[in-house]
Amino acid sequence: MSVRLYVGNLPKELERKELQEVFVEEGDTVSAKVITDRKTGKCRGFGFVTVQTDEIADQIVEKYNGVMFRENPLKIEKALPRKKGKGEGASGSENAGEEQPQQQQQQPVQQPVKAGNTPKSGGGKNRNKKSKQSGGGRPAAAPQAGGDEAFQPDPRWANELEKLKQMLAAQAANP
Residue 168 lies in a domain: no
Rounded Cα–Cα distance for residues 27 and 24 (Å): 6
Residue 102 lies in a domain: no
Rounded Cα–Cα distance for residues 31 and 16 (Å): 9
Residue 48 lies in a domain: yes
* Threshold 0.75, pTM exceeds: no
Domain limits for position 66: 3-78
Rg (CA), the chain: 23
Question: 14-57 pLDDT, tens per residue?
Answer: 999 999 998 888 888 889 999 999 999 999 999 999 999 999 99
In the chain, how many domains are there?
Answer: 1
Residue 34 lies in a domain: yes
Residue 167 lies in a domain: no
Residue 24 lies in a domain: yes
Closest CA to 44 of 55, 52, 33, 54: 33
Residue 25 lies in a domain: yes
pLDDT reported for residue 158: 78
Phi, psi of 155 (to 5 degrees): -60, -20
Q: What is the CATH number of the domain that holds 20?
A: 3.30.70.330
Strands (E), the chain: 3-8, 31-36, 43-51, 68-69, 72-73, 75-78
Helix (H) or strand (E) holding 163: helix 158-173
Mean pLDDT to the nearest integer, 107-116: 51
